[in-house]
Amino acid sequence: MPHIKRLLIEGYCYHLITRGNQKQKVFHCSEDYLMYLMLLKKFKRKYKFLIYAYCLMPNHAHLLGEIKDILCLSSFMHDLNRTYTLYFNRKYEKVGHLWQGRFKSKIICKDRYLLDCLTYIEMNPVRSNLITNAADYPWSSYKARILDGHDFVLDELMGL
């Protein structure tokens, strides 16, 4: 069955979600999370993707951002997930798919809903009972965005 064409609109933000195949863990240790973040930094620069929020959960990842050339959105996610899969499969002596199908994308208007989406993403570890305080979770943008403002992946959200 062919894929439904992804809706792409310039000037909007996107909430991107990618999940482990069969909901399996895609991050097992700190080194895995750091590798994904380093790859995210590399490919956000290559594709001019501004990251406003992120949260890496044990079996999936949330990204919220804006891409300069909307036609590069799929290439950005393809390169990010393919490169991480190569790392993961090599490290854990696995073969095959790591991610469950295509990534999901939701268009986010630059209004109050964008702030709600930021909160939704960054509170994911609290809702999942991994932690009780979002500031204690090291693999999301919450602490940098709310408390200290420094993160090697995060971009500043302007205009809201």
pLDDT tens by residue, 83-127 = 999 999 999 999 999 999 889 999 998 888 899 999 999 999 999
Please say whether the beta carbons of 122 and 142 come within 8 A. Answer: yes
Buried b (16+ CB within 10 A) or exposed e, 116-134: ebbebbbebbbeeeeeeeb
DSSP class of residue 99? B
The domain spans of the chain are 13-148
Measured distance CA(153)–CA(52) in Å, rounded: 9
Sign, CA torsion 142/103/95/125? positive
pLDDT tens, 36-50?
999 999 999 999 999
DSSP string spanning 17-53? EEEBGGG--S--SHHHHHHHHHHHHHHHHHHTEEEEE
Q: Which residue type occupies 53?
A: A
CATH 3.30.365.10 fits 13-148, yes or no: no
Please say whether the beta carbons of 36 and 82 come within 8 A. Answer: no
Summarize the confidence of residues 123-152 as an average pLDDT: 90
For the chain, the C-alpha Rg in angstroms (whole number) is 15
pTM of the entire predicted model: 0.92
Q: Pull the structure tokens for residue 147.
A: 């408390």
